[in-house]
Amino acid sequence: MIINDWISNTVAGGTYRIQGFAKGFQSLGHKVIIVTPWGVIKYEKHNSIHQPNVKSPLYYATTSLGLPLQSIRAIMRTGLIDLVLIQMPSPFTKALTILPILKIFDVPIILDFGDPWWKGSDPSIYKYISSKIIQFQAKESILITSFSKLILKLIDHENKVHIPNGVDIELFRPGNEEKPDVPLVGFLGAFTKRNGAEIIIPILTELMRRGFDVRFVLIGGGDLLQTIYSEITRRGLKEKVIIFGDVPRQKIPRLLSMCNVLAAPYLNSKELHYIFPTKIPEMMALKKPVVAASLYEIVTTFKINEELLVARYNAIDYADKIELLLTDPILREKIAEKGYERIRKEFTWEKLSMKILENIKFVTG
């Protein structure tokens, strides 16, 4: 049983992780049910559920009240539960209200921790209380997992394992490459300040200053997408940037596969060193060379200059790395191949789910 606030395929981040674990456990022969405040469903490849009040004040109330009730319903309906994974437990809206119920039924629990937003919250008393509650919840679980090695360091527990975000290799796989007339550099995700949107046009102009005739491909939405469009219009760069905007997830691999190089910039901020961007292994799974932000989880997980390149948060360094890949086809192919091999070997959801089960077996004997 997997417990989370919501499961819609249309929302990124933790939602994809829930879908990924469900897919992985199912591929290993296990029956998977997903519990949200609004329902209990048996996992299928594409799940969605009506989710009222998300992002509203009522969200916290409905989550705190709904999840325990739906958890009881799931246990009563399905009978014996072998394992419960609670994804991204926040101090007050998820695991806290569920733990007493699961304890009554003597169900083994995994807490899968995500972004530790509570560490940077104000006031200080809230941060203190939140940290204590997180530690209390952790003691009730047999295993702690997270996509972030830094998050695992914050939690006092003897059984912890790093589980990065994985890839749906049925969706993200090398496709038939269309040969563009000019080199294409692809960007994917929400175009926000956090995700490095402000640096995209400076990278393009720097490459143009060096004499490169390139096109940038932008896939995704975000509050700065209109700002980017206004900027390229003002500078007369409309023919240099192809904006697809938000597209169905199933179309993303084909659009990215048209590109020669893929880039994933992120703002250089302390909080972002705790994240493991889903889109980076997804890009690598397409057998494309990737230039990524120099985030802690990226540089400590992948072999830099072998499986992908990283850049500091400035236009010149990103332009340097993109130029290197565009002008050196041997290096471009090597980075793409090595990155692809690593993803296929270690980052499928089936293998990540197997890693969880192996650690549980080790803990329980």
Claim to verify: residue 212 and residue 307 sit in the same structural domain: yes
Claim to verify: residue 284 and residue 159 sit in the same structural domain: no
Three-state DSSP class for residue 262:
strand
How high is the pLDDT of residue 141? 87
Which sign does the torsion angle of CA 78, 82, 85, 91 carry? positive
User: Domain for residue 101, yes or no?
Assistant: yes
Statement: residue 252 has pLDDT above 60: yes
pTM of the model: 0.89
User: Domain for residue 174, yes or no?
Assistant: no
The CA-CA-CA angle for residues 67, 68, 73, to 5°, reads 95
Claim to verify: residue 8 and residue 151 sit in the same structural domain: yes
What tens digit of pLDDT does each residue of 179-195 get? 778 999 999 999 999 99
Q: Predicted confidence band at 35 (pLDDT cuts at 50, 70, 90)?
A: confident
What is each CA distance from 176 to 146, 162, 173, 214, 257, in whole angstroms? Answer: 34, 34, 10, 21, 8
Task: Read off the amino acid at residue 30.
Answer: H
Q: Which of 155, 145, 154 is nearest to 353 (CA)?
A: 145
Claim to verify: residue 149 and residue 213 sit in the same structural domain: no
> The CATH number of the domain where 33 resides is what?
3.40.50.2000
User: Domain for residue 177, yes or no?
Assistant: no
How high is the pLDDT of residue 119? 57
The stretch 119-134 carries a mean pLDDT of: 68
User: How far apart are the C-alpha atoms of 21 and 86, rounded to whole Å?
Assistant: 11
**114-118, 125-129, 308-312: which has the minimum mean pLDDT?**
114-118
Average pLDDT, the chain: 86
Claim to verify: residue 138 and residue 190 sit in the same structural domain: no
Claim to verify: residue 14 and residue 54 sit in the same structural domain: yes
Claim to verify: residue 42 and residue 149 sit in the same structural domain: yes
How many domains would you assign to the chain? 2
Statement: residue 170 has pLDDT above 80: yes
Claim to verify: residue 224 and residue 301 sit in the same structural domain: yes
Place of tokens 């796989």: 173
User: Domain for residue 289, yes or no?
Assistant: yes
How high is the pLDDT of residue 10? 43
Task: Read off the amino acid at residue 237.
Answer: L
Cβ–Cβ under 8 Å, residues 308 and 280: yes
Claim to verify: residue 140 and residue 191 sit in the same structural domain: no
The stretch 218-237 carries a mean pLDDT of: 94
Cβ–Cβ under 8 Å, residues 261 and 183: yes
Statement: residue 172 has pLDDT above 60: yes
Residue 349 or residue 64, greater confidence: 349
The stretch 137-154 carries a mean pLDDT of: 88
Claim to verify: residue 327 and residue 355 sit in the same structural domain: no
User: Domain for residue 159, yes or no?
Assistant: yes
Which range in 9-18, 79-88, 105-114, 248-257 is most confidently predicted, on average pLDDT?
A: 248-257
Claim to verify: residue 194 and residue 342 sit in the same structural domain: yes
Q: Pairing between strand 39-42 and 33-36?
A: antiparallel
The stretch 311-332 carries a mean pLDDT of: 97
User: How far apart are the C-alpha atoms of 322 and 337, rounded to whole Å?
Assistant: 17
Claim to verify: residue 55 and residue 135 sit in the same structural domain: yes
Q: Which of 38, 34, 39 is nearest to 58 (CA)?
A: 38
User: Domain for residue 176, yes or no?
Assistant: no
What tens digit of pLDDT does each residue of 51-105 get? 565 566 666 666 777 788 888 888 888 877 889 998 865 665 667 778 888 888 8
Please, what's the b/e burial string for 86-104 (b: 16 or more CB within 10 A of its CB; e: otherwise)?
bbbbbbbbbbbbbbeebee
User: Domain for residue 173, yes or no?
Assistant: no
Domain residues for the domain of 273 are 184-346
User: Domain for residue 340, yes or no?
Assistant: yes
